[in-house]
Amino acid sequence: MRTHSGHRNNACMLAVVISLLLSTACAHDPRANPSADDARSFVEAANARLEALGVRAARAEWVKANFITVDTEALAAEAYENYIAASVELAKQAAQFNGVETDAETRRQLELLKRAITMPAPSDRALTQELTQIAAGMDSNYGKAQYCPEGAEGEDCLDIIEIRAITAESRDPAALLDVWIGWRTTSPAIRDDYRRFVELTNQGAQELGYPDTGALWRSNYDMSPDAFAAEVDRLWQQVLPLYESLHCYVRAKLAEFYGEDQVPLDQPIPAHLLGNMWAQDWTNIYDLVAPDDADPGYDLTALVQKAGYDPLGMVRSGENFFSSIGFEPLPDSFWERSLFTKPQDREVVCHASAWDVEDGDDLRIKMCIEVNAEDFQTIHHELGHNYYQRAYKDQPYLFRGSANDGFHEAIGDAIALSVTPAYLVELGLLDAEPPPSKDVGLLLRDALGKVAFLPFGILVDQWRWGVFSGEIPADAYNAGWWALREKYQGIRPPDERGEDLFDPGAKYHIPGNTPYSRYFLAAILQFQFHRAMCEIAGHEGPLNRCTIYGSKEAGRRLNEMLEMGMSRPWPDALEALTGEREADATAIRDYFAPLQAWLDEKNASRSCGW
């Protein structure tokens, strides 16, 4: 079951199935003294079983996404249950080979089987059932949550989609404060459930040999849990000066617009004024902070429309990008089976996603493409997933995935970084590149999304690691959350937030039990990949102006990494492309160097920091 980029399977289904099965998956007859040959046979059988179930689940999910009915949802859920059931059963069975000396490839596949569990449950059946009910309840609470302003009921209540729209578009601080507080009235109901959830998953993790659930999650990065935590902090320190410059500038511009009584220049930024319900992406306030000469000199939407692109032509252009760097064209089945436009006769899931339905040979994307700049870039991103999926198709099934859970999104994003004015000139969409003076507006808009996200990408799991370890006790959940948000993001709540509240639960990934560090890693790695490929392509000049379009050598090195899939520790894969064995956040500093110089000039007379 391999889909990527924006396609989220039902997290509650995953949690429930895993917790149900962890207590029963040991109903096998392990060998008393298993051998290396037994381990290899087990892994071979596991690959075959999971591949067959994965294809069935992917087909069922594809049909559900393209023909949304009660029946297709039920069939997809059943197929996915069967896949997850087998995964958990095999993960438990793999433990019988813990003490067996075998070859490195077999050992890696055994470890990957075991580490795939994100919600370990206790072996006691009653506790497992309790955990199942808690997981389902938290997910359901989030899915049904609405904020009903005073006097409102029924259709006048607001769901998260409507609240996000208000947060993005309104410039009325009272309205922003109202929906910010209102959404967070929906999460205290799960606070006690989450405390019990932590206790039960920790017990399950300890039965698997880990100190707590957070340590289990951090063990999934080819290094010790403590080493991974230190690695995340090292990367953050590398990028912190850029974030501090952006924070200082944005705070000053918000103070100009809202007044210093609303945004004091010596304090963290109030969280409700940043254009996003969780202040994790500040792109929606670009109009408030954009420089006077923000016009980049061209409008990509106008360019693709003037050139007569239709949705299929947009995808052909993306394929041409990969062909230019040496990749084989997409198979005919891709064009026959993908969804490119919204059908008129039925409802479909339009959110863009990339699919590997079978063996890397049945690749598809699913998008309701519109001829505009956003979808032009998104297509390049989604195809990055497809080419990655095809590159590792000859690996054993357990190795068909990205080197770590940040790589897949990083590849898609790195390809999208090559959609530059230079690339548009190559396509004939632009006559000439705009001068470098036009870059600041584009870079600032990008930074409001990519750079502003970085501290949030860290702190979600930092909070959970502290909760799982006991460093953040149950009577300090909210205090711990806001301490981290101030430490990393330099933001503060707009009102008093006591321990009767549960603000972490207002972010889906907490009740949905979805690890978050992958998003931080992807945000870092995409720039490291981009910088390496630009160097290989012989690019000279600012990194933000580089496209690898037409560089066969950059494509060869990229494919060399992609073909490895999960077969080797991720530093090996990183080295294949970049020549480096450590993640390096200086690449994002290099990319945004012109912006940081501009920000520092604007901030010269300001007192920065929080």
The terminus-to-terminus CA distance of the chain in angstroms comes to: 45
Known catalytic residue at 381:
yes
- Give the CA radius of gyration of the chain: 24
Q: How many domains does the chain have?
A: 2
Q: Three-class SS of residue 343?
A: coil
Are the C-beta atoms of 83 and 57 separated by less than 8 Å? yes
The single residue of 89, 382, 391, 549 carrying the catalytic annotation is 382
pLDDT score for 11: 40
Whether residue 240 is found in the same domain as residue 123: no
pLDDT of residue 19: 42
Which of 51, 509, 563, 575 is labelled catalytic?
A: 509
Helix (H, G, I), strand (E, B) or coil at 242: helix
Q: Which of 82, 106, 127 is the last residue of a domain?
A: 127
Residue 49: predicted pLDDT: 94
Predicted local distance difference test score (pLDDT) of residue 18: 44
Q: Average pLDDT for residues 239-250, to the nearest whole number?
A: 98
- Provide CB contacts within 8 A for 575, sequence distance 6+: 581
Evaluate if residue 252 carries a pLDDT over 90.
Answer: yes
Q: Is residue 168 part of a domain?
A: no
- Compute the average pLDDT of residues 515-523: 94
Q: Which of 519, 523, 530, 573 is catalytic?
A: 519
In this structure, what DSSP letter does residue 103 have?
Answer: -
Q: Are residues 367 and 502 in the same domain?
A: yes
User: Is residue 140 a part of any domain in this protein?
Assistant: no
User: How much is the pLDDT for 420?
Assistant: 94
- The answer for 550, left when phi > 0, alpha when psi is -120 to 50, beta otherwise, is left
Q: What is the pLDDT of residue 295?
A: 83
Tell me: pLDDT of 21 over 50.
no
Q: What are 309's two structure tokens?
A: 């692109």
- 519 is annotated as an active-site residue: yes
pLDDT in tens, 141-188: 888 889 999 877 777 899 988 999 999 999 999 999 999 999 999 999
Whose tokens are 């992406």? That residue is 281
- Could you give the CA distance from residue 44 to residue 110 in angstroms, rounded to a whole number? 11
Q: Please indicate whether residue 27 or residue 563 has the higher confidence score (pLDDT).
A: 563
Which range has the worst mean pLDDT, 2-11, 18-27, 291-300?
18-27
Q: At what angle do helices 225-258 and 593-602 cross, to 10 degrees?
A: 50
Task: Measure the CA–CA gap between 441 and 376, rounded to whole angstroms.
Answer: 19
| Residue 422 structural domain | 236-276+305-610
Q: Is residue 166 part of a domain?
A: no
Judgement on whether residues 246 and 119 belong to the same structural domain of the protein: no
From 4, 380, 385, 530, active-site residue: 385
Q: Is residue 459 part of a domain?
A: yes
Whether the per-residue pLDDT at 270 is higher than 80: the answer is yes
Active site residue 397: no
Q: Picking from 4-13, 326-335, 426-435, 523-532, which range would have the lowest pLDDT averaged per residue?
A: 4-13
**What integer best gives the mean pLDDT of the chain?**
90
H helices of 420-438, in order, are 421-426
| pLDDT tens per residue, range 384-398 | 999 999 999 999 999
Q: Is residue 207 part of a domain?
A: no
Check residue 4 and give its pLDDT: 64
Among 127, 143, 158, the domain boundary falls at 127
**Is 142 one of the annotated active-site residues of the chain?**
no
Our measurement of the distance from residue 496's CA atom to the centroid of its chain's CA atoms, rounded to an integer in Å, reads 30
Catalytic residue, candidates 271, 279, 352, 583: 352
pLDDT given for residue 22 in this prediction: 44
Residue of 121, 409, 523, 591 with catalytic role = 409
Residue 269 above 90 pLDDT? yes
* pTM for the whole structure: 0.90
- As a whole number, mean pLDDT of residues 499-516 equals 94
Q: For this structure, is 422 an active site residue?
A: no
Catalytic residue among 4, 272, 380, 381: 381
- Asked if residue 400 belongs to a domain, the reply is yes
Question: Could you give the percent of the chain with pLDDT greater than 90?
Answer: 73
Considering the domain boundaries, does residue 381 fall inside one? yes
Whole-number percent of the chain with pLDDT over 70: 95
pLDDT of residue 81: 77
pLDDT at 214: 96
Catalytic residue among 45, 302, 351, 432: 351
Residues 419-447, mean pLDDT to the nearest whole number: 92
Same domain as 504, residue 362: yes
Q: Which of 67, 102, 127 is the last residue of a domain?
A: 127
- Position 78 confidence tier, pLDDT thresholds 50, 70, 90: confident
